[in-house]
Amino acid sequence: MPQSVFLCRLDELPDGESRGFDPLHTGRDTVMIVRRGRVLFAYRDACPHHGTTPMAWRKNSYLNAAGTRIVCGAHGAQFDIATGHCTLGPSLGQSLTPVPWVVNDQGDVHLLLDPNQEKFP
């Protein structure tokens, strides 16, 4: 049974927008979430170009102006929000790493963690 870590309430995530989180208290955001209605798309905040580097250009800013793509603030690599697949830029052909999540009956958003390693599964 994986452990979970509370991130926020669903109603704290503006629909159609993105937010970054630091669930493992590393000192910077390591998870980013895009909300579309009841559906969330959660990925590691790590561009596949360099593997571990953060993508936002400002706190919570992960999307293009139209809100239709995840864009890395390092070199503008564009990712499909639903699949995490890079469609343009340095990470072309690679994908963001999805992070499992649940929203419980109370509307709390949790990430699921690997209990042995205290990291994302």
Partner 1 sequence: MKIIGPDALFFGVDDVTACAQYLTDYGLEGVGVTASGGRFEALDGTAVIIANKDDGGLPPAMGTASMLRKTIYGVMDTQALQAVAEELGRDRPVRRLSDGSIEAEDDMGFLLGFQVTMRRKLSLPAEAVNAPGAPARRPANVVAVDDDAVVRPRTLSHVVYFVPDAVKAEGFYARLGFRCTDRLRGAGPFLRPAGTADHHTLFLIQTPPFMKGVEHFTFHMGGPTEVMLAGTRFVNKGYQSFWGPGRHKFGSNWFWYFNSPLGCHVEYDADMDLHDEHWVAREVQLSADASQLFLFQHREKWVPSGPPPGAATGVPKG
- Give the interface with partner 1 as residue ranges (CB under 8 A): 27, 53-59, 61, 64-65, 71-78, 88-90, 92
Q: How far is the CB of 68 from partner 1 (least distance, A)?
A: 10
Taking the C-alpha atoms of residue 108 and residue 121, their distance in angstroms, rounded to an integer, is 20
- Which is nearer to partner 1, 13 or 72 (by Cβ)? 72
94 or 97, CB closer to partner 1? 94
Rounded CA separation 84/97 (Å):
7
CA torsion angle for 79, 83, 87, 93 (degrees, to 10)? 110
Least CB distance to partner 1 at residue 75 (A): 6
